[in-house]
């Protein structure tokens, strides 16, 4: 066998060498792989190759391998550079919130705060707007009420006691409730008053305390005025009956001791006192104004002027 190999000609050796060496072939086309998975990349790295490609030690330097490595490296780089929050969304945030990292917690708190402000901001603004409107309304209403109340004070009711008429009086002996014998006085009189409401925008409700006649500290007669309503810019006469029945004197009025025999000579000074109250409801019961007038008049009971009017316009004081 060795002799046969040495006996071969140069042409045969050349042909054998040519057969043993691989023939040169034209440049193979490039293969491009787009985003392979890890399993596919392992297959491609460890022996999977296109059909007809030789398996020699320098296969990793082929253009196909370079293209695969470059695509794999690009995919790995894209995974490294990509923001995990965009890739995984809510799962990433839940994972890192569970781990308790400071940066992610701060970002999550900021997002929650922003979301909370965004959701509660319209309601809070609406509540503040309503509160401001209510406060402004109360301020305006208070100012308007104060203006009306101040304006009403300049419209004080006008009260004038015109006259008094003593229709009758009588003094006779009697017994008081305790059984003491004394003189008893019976008196009948009428008081006329003119009441005027000068207000231009409100009416008044008028009441009065009892009209009392006194002889110093001795109370001899009394009468109650009826309450009434007086509209704006109007007036009316008010007539009140003041009477006293079987009033014990206990010798307090010495001037009346001669009343049985000489009634026309009787002259007893008396005081007429009362208080009138006028209440104006300017804005319902929310805004009201009250006026008080304390009146005191000097009256003389004369036996010779029974049934006649005694003018009191110049004998009364108003407080």
CA separation for the pair 318, 128 (Å, rounded): 53
**Cβ(171)–Cβ(256) under 8 Å?**
yes
**Cβ(240)–Cβ(190) under 8 Å?**
yes
Question: Given this model, what pLDDT does residue 177 score?
Answer: 84
φ, ψ for residue 102 (rounded to 5)? -70, -45
How would DSSP label each residue in 114-149?
Answer: HHHHHHHHHHHHHHHHHHHHHHHHHHHHHHHHHHHH
**Cβ(185)–Cβ(251) under 8 Å?**
no
Looking at the chain, the number of H-run helices and the number of E-run strands are 7, 11
**Cβ(155)–Cβ(227) under 8 Å?**
no
CA separation for the pair 116, 301 (Å, rounded): 88
- The 3-state DSSP class for residue 222 equals strand
Per-residue pLDDT of the chain (319 residues; tens, 9 = 90+): 443 444 444 444 444 444 444 445 455 555 455 555 444 444 444 444 444 444 444 444 444 444 444 555 554 555 555 555 554 555 545 545 555 444 555 554 555 555 455 445 788 888 888 999 999 999 998 998 889 888 888 999 999 999 999 999 888 888 888 888 888 999 999 999 999 999 999 999 999 999 999 999 899 999 999 999 999 999 999 999 999 999 998 887 877 777 777 788 889 999 999 999 999 998 888 889 999 999 999 999 998 899 999 999 999 999 9
Question: Given this model, what pLDDT does residue 83 score?
Answer: 54
The domain over range 156-318 is classified in CATH as 2.60.40: yes
Helix axes 38-45, 63-81, angle to 10 degrees: 150
Question: Given this model, what pLDDT does residue 311 score?
Answer: 94
* Per-residue pLDDT tens over the stretch 138-171: 999 899 888 988 888 899 999 999 999 999 988 8
Task: Compute the Cα dihedral for 212, 213, 219, 221 and give only its sign.
Answer: negative
Q: How far is CA 232 from CA 116, 149, 238, 292, in A?
A: 59, 16, 17, 18
Question: Given this model, what pLDDT does residue 124 score?
Answer: 86
In the chain, where the domains are located: 26-49+56-84, 156-318
Question: Given this model, what pLDDT does residue 178 score?
Answer: 86
Question: Given this model, what pLDDT does residue 29 score?
Answer: 52
């Amino acid at each position: 066998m060795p002799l046969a190999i040495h006996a071969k000609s140069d042409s045969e050796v050349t042909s054998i060498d040519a057969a043993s060496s691989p023939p040169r072939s034209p440049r193979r086309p490039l293969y491009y792989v787009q985003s392979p998975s890890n399993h596919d990349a392992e297959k491609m790295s460890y022996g999977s190759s296109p059909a007809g490609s030789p398996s020699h030690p320098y296969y990793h330097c082929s253009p196909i391998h370079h293209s695969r490595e470059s695509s794999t490296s690009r995919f790995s780089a894209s995974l490294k550079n990509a923001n995990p929050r965009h890739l995984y969304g809510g799962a990433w945030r839940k994972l890192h919130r569970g781990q308790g990292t400071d940066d992610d917690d701060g970002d999550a708190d900021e997002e929650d705060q922003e979301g909370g402000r965004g959701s509660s901001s319209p309601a809070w603004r609406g509540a503040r707007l309503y509160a401001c409107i209510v406060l402004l309304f109360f301020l305006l209403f208070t100012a308007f009420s104060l203006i009306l109340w101040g304006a009403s004070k300049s419209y004080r009711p006008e009260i004038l006691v015109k006259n008094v008429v003593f229709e009758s009086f009588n003094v006779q002996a009697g017994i008081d409730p305790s059984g003491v014998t004394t003189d008893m006085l019976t008196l009948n009189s009428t008081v006329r008053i003119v009441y005027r409401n000068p207000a231009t925008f409100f009416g008044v409700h008028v009441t009065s305390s009892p009209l009392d006649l006194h002889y110093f500290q001795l109370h001899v007669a009394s009468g109650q005025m009826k309450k009434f309503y007086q509209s704006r810019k109007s007036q009316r006469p008010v007539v009140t009956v003041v009477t006293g029945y079987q009033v014990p004197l206990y010798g307090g009025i010495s001037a009346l001791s001669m009343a049985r025999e000489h009634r026309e000579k009787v002259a007893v000074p008396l005081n007429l006192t009362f208080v009138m109250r006028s209440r104006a409801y300017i804005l319902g019961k929310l805004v009201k104004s009250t006026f008080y007038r304390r009146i005191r008049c000097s009256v003389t009971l004369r036996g010779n002027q029974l049934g006649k009017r005694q003018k009191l316009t110049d004998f009364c004081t108003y407080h």
